[in-house]
Homo-oligomer: A and B are copies of this chain.
Amino acid sequence: MKLLLASRNAKKLGELRRIVAAEGFSVLGLDDVPAFPEAPETEPTFEGNALAKARDAFAATGLPSVADDSGISIDALNGMPGVLSARWSGAHGNDQANLELVLGQLRDVPDERRGAAFVCAAAFAGPGGETVVRGEWRGRIIREPRGENGFGYDPIFVPEGYEVTSAELSAEEKDKLSHRGRALRLLLPHLRELAQ
């Protein structure tokens, strides 16, 4: 079955593709279909943004579509950066600036209050209907970046039960544990059912 992954973030697309392709879906990206106007991510929730993106992609292409919206939710920032994770420093998609800003904001926050969660809402829209699910990955924010894998806030996030950052995990390890892996695995039964 063909499935459109409605993301323009190359690294995120890679993660989504790996996880979904392993389930036997034939995966297309936005570069494989004619361009269509994409709505900005202005919903106040991950779920709202993911669903809007999947819905727009399905409406424009007729292909069963999966989209995600994800980010990091930091306890000491009342759950922010949240839906603003990719533009936390004001500019969009500057991983380094976003990460350094978080480290600066948390400089005086003691170790026992540095809890956080990576959150991913994954949405599907297709001929059979639409659905949205949520995956979370708890951990804590450290004080200096470590690791070269992953992207975004990975170098400052140490998952619960680990001593390494998510940027120090291999892609395969990360997929097993991550918010995006969890959300997509929650979505798979719906995909199989709704896409028929």
Q: Give the contacting residue for A90; candidates B77, B79, B87, B101; CB below 8 A.
A: B101
Compute how far the CA of A187 lies from the CA of B182 in the bound complex, rounded to whole angstroms: 50
Stretch at the interface among A50-58, A102-110, A116-124: A102-110
Which residues of chain B have C-beta atoms less than 8 A from A110's C-beta?
42
Which residues of chain B have C-beta atoms less than 8 A from A42's C-beta?
108-110
Compute how far the CA of A101 lies from the CA of B84 in the bound complex, rounded to whole angstroms: 12
Interface string of A10-50 (1 = CB under 8 A from B): 00000000000000000000000000000011101000000
Instruction: State the Cβ distance, A115 to closest chain B Cβ, in Å.
Output: 12
Check if B90 sits within 8 Å of A107, measured CB to CB. yes
Which residues of chain B have C-beta atoms less than 8 A from A79's C-beta?
78
Interface residues on A, range: 20 to 34
Task: Please tell me if A194 contacts chain B, counting CB pairs below 8 Å.
Answer: no
Residues 117-147 of A contacting B (Cβ, < 8 Å): none
Q: List 27 A-B contacts (CB under 8 A).
A: A40-B108, A41-B108, A42-B108, A42-B109, A42-B110, A44-B76, A44-B113, A77-B78, A77-B80, A77-B84, A78-B78, A78-B82, A80-B80, A84-B105, A87-B104, A87-B105, A87-B107, A87-B108, A88-B105, A89-B101, A90-B100, A90-B101, A90-B103, A90-B104, A90-B105, A91-B104, A101-B101
Q: A77-B78, A87-B107 are in contact. List 8 more A-B contacts (CB 8 A).
A: A40-B108, A77-B80, A80-B80, A87-B105, A89-B104, A90-B101, A90-B104, A101-B101
